[in-house]
Structure 1
Amino acid sequence: MKRKALALLSGGLDSTLAVKVMLEQGIEVEALNFTSPFCTCTSKNAGCKSEAVRVAEEFGIPIKVMNKGLEYLEVVRNPKHGYGKAINPCIDCRIFLLRKAKEYMVESGADFVITGEVLGQRPMSQRRDTLRIIEQESGLEGLLLRPLSAKHFKVTIAETEGWVDRDKLLAIQGRGRKEQMELAEELDVTNYPCPAGGCMLTEVSFAPKVRDIFDHSDELQMRDFRLLKLGRHFRLGARTKLLVGRNDAENTALTTQMLPGEATVRWIEGGSPLGVVMGEVTPEILDTAGKIVLRYTRAESGAPCAVKIERGEEEEFLAITNTFSEPEIERFRV
């Protein structure tokens, strides 16, 4: 009887190799890919999701793409095992993903789960002790196989039952990628533009933006996190942010995310970035938003300017004086 593995596939080098190693042993594989507002990738395409789909198509295996959703945002807000250097809950994230994989095993008919994890590669989530915690708390003890580092761990059910030949598994460890690249050449795995993958939650400069949402939201909204990759962000009130586009593409993207009652702000003379006021809108907030937007134009300092405000089908023009200095703007910047 042919056995089936459910693979967590990011499209990066390690997870791709893990799948390939299983396929070489005659194991049927289905891929599971997770997306979130925090995904990043060095790929020139649409990011890690497209890389995972590309790999699945190249290997001829089915793939299911899941959004981590609002449940995951709560994990980020209150991680049991804490954060890394930024706001990255790496241990809790892996547990979350593997729990979802365990739930999907029943639907997919898989016998066990595989990942591309490598012992010692990542300082927080791939230490021996944390890998053990992840396996235990995900409920996948004995059912979680890490083909690239399998010989450093206890034998899994897939190995004891003879579904997988342990002698053909690997003993890779550490942060280098030399062994993976050699294995990729041996297995004829090419075109892996995202060897390390990435998550914006690991970036120290990105963390304040995420914390700002947590600090000012009674109920988390996926939109707020998707927008973190766009524009300049300013906190104007407990329930109000101003996002200022940095180019036409961002201006367009910001307007597509607006909700009823929210407003755009733009200087009507010359080239001007677009400001989008999201959340509660008041005359005082619009005045502040206008002054911030004007700071990114060629409007004369100290001069009164005509600023156009649009809210749905309604528009108005406000006379706003360009008085904000850079330090005044920084008071609002997230």
Structure 2
Amino acid sequence: MTKALAMMSGGLDSTLAAKLIKDQGIDVLGLCFKSYFFGPKNAVRMAKQIDVPLKVVDFSKEHFEMVKNPKHGYGKNINPCIDCHAMMMRYAGNLLKEYDAQFIITGEVLNQRPMSQNKSSLDVVRKESGFSDKILRPLCAKNLKPTEMELNGMVNREKLLDIYGRSRKAQMELADRWGVKDYPSPAGGCKLTEPNYAKRLRDLLRYNEMPNENELELLKFGRHFRISENAKIISTRTHDEADEINEFLTENELIFFADDFNGSMIIIYGKPTETDIELAAKITGRYCKGKDEDSINVKYGFFKHELDNHIEIKPGVDEEICKYII
């Protein structure tokens, strides 16, 4: 039986592409790639809706090395989409033999994304994957030259589509027809496309070329303040966020709370000076209920230890602390 590996990001397009080929009687196995910047959650949900088994491929370390210096550069933020897609296809191509599959499916649509899905970019991705003759883009296949799989009759080209451009109307109509109801917005998924996260990652790499996984995870939470080459402050926004961030803190981090007022948990990451600690206390004051007081007491100490240090401080004001925000 003919078998295909479907690259499933968790978005609607890749799900529809997999369903389109499955409905031709071809055995489809979904592949979802996991990195420090995107995960399998949506793909797991979408694969279940079209009854396709899913394998998760963790390529976090290799992907991060590419992100730091992509051959084809970045998109609007710090997203190296062309290099990323080529890397995924190369991984998928190397798995063809292992899963006894004949070709790869992707959900790309010609000109849906002006930089990464124009004709030139699709050709670059195809060639740099190393498996150019094994890649099928079912949603826009009729806008492209026939592939080997179509020419040899493995796939019926007449049942493929000619979707083009940035409109989502055709995909939404197809999803409705096939009963695919629960799908994410097209903008979600990859942290590298988010402006705030991109700024924080650029800042981190400026001061640390080899951050660990916890440092990358911390970029997803709260407000970030770059206070020196050696230290950064994070201010959580909600109680739930403070609970979540605990998973990625170590006993090397100092944490701060206002003694008598509810408010943010403040974290200093790195090697703070006494001046940095004073600034963290001011930021603690700014993001607590006592921000308008003349003076408040702030307690602090190392994570998972007693907060037995105290400092009395006047809460910071926006004009004083906003210059540090990343």
Could you tell me the TM-score, scaled by structure 2's length?
A: 0.92
Alpha-carbon contact 1:81-1:92 (below 8 Å) kept: yes
Task: Report whether the alignment pairs 1:20 with 2:24.
Answer: no
Task: Report whether the alignment pairs 1:249 with 2:240.
Answer: yes
Partner of 1:43: none
Q: How many Å apart are 1:264 and its aligned residue?
A: 1.0
Higher relative contact order (CA 8 A, sep 6+): 1
Task: Report whether the alignment pairs 1:34 with 2:33.
Answer: yes
Partner of 1:327: 319
Partner of 1:78: 69
Where do residues 194-205 of structure 1 align in structure 2 (5 Å cutoff)? 194-198=184-188, 199-205=190-196
Distance 2:54 2:303 in 1: 42
Distance 2:261 2:185 in 1: 44
Where do residues 51-200 of structure 1 align in structure 2 (5 Å cutoff)? 51-186=42-177, 188-198=178-188, 199-200=190-191
Partner of 1:267: 258
Alpha-carbon contact 1:12-1:192 (below 8 Å) kept: no
SS in 1 for 2:227: strand
SS in 2 for 1:252: helix
Distance 1:134 1:197 in 2: 21
Q: How many Å apart are 1:150 and its aligned residue?
A: 0.8
Counterpart residue identity of residue 14, structure 2: S
Counterpart residue identity of residue 333, structure 1: I
Q: How many Å apart are 1:95 and its aligned residue?
A: 1.2
Q: How many Å apart are 1:111 and its aligned residue?
A: 1.1
Alpha-carbon contact 1:10-1:197 (below 8 Å) kept: no
SS in 2 for 1:134: helix
Counterpart residue identity of residue 50, structure 2: F
Question: Paired residue for 1:318, among 310, 313, 318?
Answer: 310
Q: How many Å apart are 1:195 and its aligned residue?
A: 4.8
Alpha-carbon contact 2:283-2:315 (below 8 Å) kept: no
Moved more, 27-36 or 66-75: 66-75
Alpha-carbon contact 2:231-2:271 (below 8 Å) kept: yes
Distance 2:164 2:199 in 1: 33
Counterpart residue identity of residue 16, structure 1: T
User: Structure 2: any 5+ residue segments left out of the alignment?
Assistant: none
Distance 2:310 2:20 in 1: 64
Partner of 1:238: 229
Q: How many Å apart are 1:300 and its aligned residue?
A: 4.6
Alpha-carbon contact 1:309-1:317 (below 8 Å) kept: yes
Distance 2:318 2:185 in 1: 39
Distance 2:215 2:303 in 1: 19
Q: How many Å apart are 1:304 and its aligned residue?
A: 5.2
Task: Report whether the alignment pairs 1:309 with 2:290.
Answer: no
Change (3 A) 1:139 1:323: same
SS in 1 for 2:310: strand
Deviations, residues 12-38 of structure 1 (Å, cap 9, x unaligned): 221111111111111101001123444
Deviations, residues 182-239 of structure 1 (Å, cap 9, x unaligned): 33344x2321422525233233344211211110113122222222221111113323
Could you tell me the TM-score, scaled by structure 1's length?
A: 0.90
Alpha-carbon contact 2:217-2:248 (below 8 Å) kept: no
Where do residues 218-229 of structure 1 align in structure 2 (5 Å cutoff)? 218-229=209-220
User: Structure 1: any 5+ residue segments left out of the alignment?
Assistant: 40-47
Counterpart residue identity of residue 193, structure 1: Y
Identity of aligned residues (%): 38
Partner of 2:268: 277
SS in 2 for 1:29: strand
Partner of 2:10: 11
Q: Name the Cα RMSD after superposition.
A: 2.0
